[in-house]
Amino acid sequence: MRYRGLPRRLQALLWVAFVALLGIAFYGSLPAAVAAIFHLADVAPEKIPWMASRITAFLAYGALAASSIYGLAMTTKTLDIFARRTVTDRLHEDLSFWGLLLGATHAVALMFDDYIQFTWTSILVPFAASYRPDALAWGIFALYLLIILVVTSKARRFIGLRLWRAIHLLAFVAFALLTAHGLAAGTDSGTIWARLLYIGSVTLVVFFFAVRVLQKLTGAARR
């Protein structure tokens, strides 16, 4: 997918980051991912749903974290030096959409894993799961919030800018829930690369949020 107006080098960097996250989520590190390319046939069939769930979970979090960071950076006008606003808006929305799609795929993949044996009820109804019900509920709530955010963003011209902005504040809640869900429910959360992903994402969100607040305060003071 190409974005007219966005430098090709930046587009290439985004794709490299995507592929790197793909390999890390699947195998724990880039060297392990490269080595595993030649041994994919050795993967046991019964492990495929579990591996698919793991990889889509981290890709979903990566996309949604990037969308949150990107969206906050847009409000600070930091990205205006790289591309037109229409381009950055589209990329922000696309990251949210793919994050939602990957998150839903993560949930569906769990249905085919025989180890825990999730049901539609445990995946769709908060606190209904027998496996870490609180942590899974946070993920379910986040998924529903993401659906609301994506749908209202597509219907922005119909619901009005003021209402859309008010609803869009739920993105912070969704990001917090997703982070808590990943840390509490993820089997890979204890690995160094997963912690770096969570810490890095939260740090950047807090940083750009603080920058935006300072811009608001200084702007109000000047007036």
User: pLDDT-based confidence at 49, cuts 50/70/90?
Assistant: confident
The whole-number average pLDDT for the span 68-96 is 73
Q: Is the pLDDT of residue 85 over 60?
A: no
This prediction's pTM: 0.79
Q: Return the pLDDT at 3.
A: 47
User: pLDDT-based confidence at 8, cuts 50/70/90?
Assistant: low
Q: Return the pLDDT at 175.
A: 95
The whole-number average pLDDT for the span 45-66 is 83
User: pLDDT-based confidence at 55, cuts 50/70/90?
Assistant: confident
Q: Return the pLDDT at 9.
A: 59
Q: Is the pLDDT of residue 37 over 90?
A: no
What's the pLDDT tens digit per position in 151-167?
999 898 899 989 999 99
What's the pLDDT tens digit per position in 11-30?
556 656 665 655 555 555 54
- Locate 74 and state its tokens: 């847009």
Q: Return the pLDDT at 136.
A: 94
Mind giving me the DSSP string for the chain?
Answer: ---TTS-HHHHHHHHHHHHHHHHHHHHSSHHHHHHHGGGGGGS-GGGHHHHHHHHHHHHHHHHHHHHHHHHHHHHTTGGGGTS-HHHHHHHHHHHHHHHHHHHHHHHHHHHT-TTT---HHHHHSTT--SSSHHHHHHHHHHHHHHHHHHHHHHTHHHH-HHHHHHHHTHHHHHHHHHHHHHHHH-TTTTSHHHHHHHHHHHHHHHHHHHHHHHHHHHHHHH-
What's the pLDDT tens digit per position in 170-200?
999 999 999 999 999 988 888 887 888 899 9
What's the pLDDT tens digit per position in 89-133?
777 888 888 899 999 999 998 888 877 788 889 999 999 988 899
Angstrom distance (rounded) from CA 79 to CA 85? 8
What's the mean per-residue pLDDT of the chain?
Answer: 79
CA of 87: how far to CAs of 2, 5, 27, 90, 129, in Å? 10, 6, 33, 5, 41
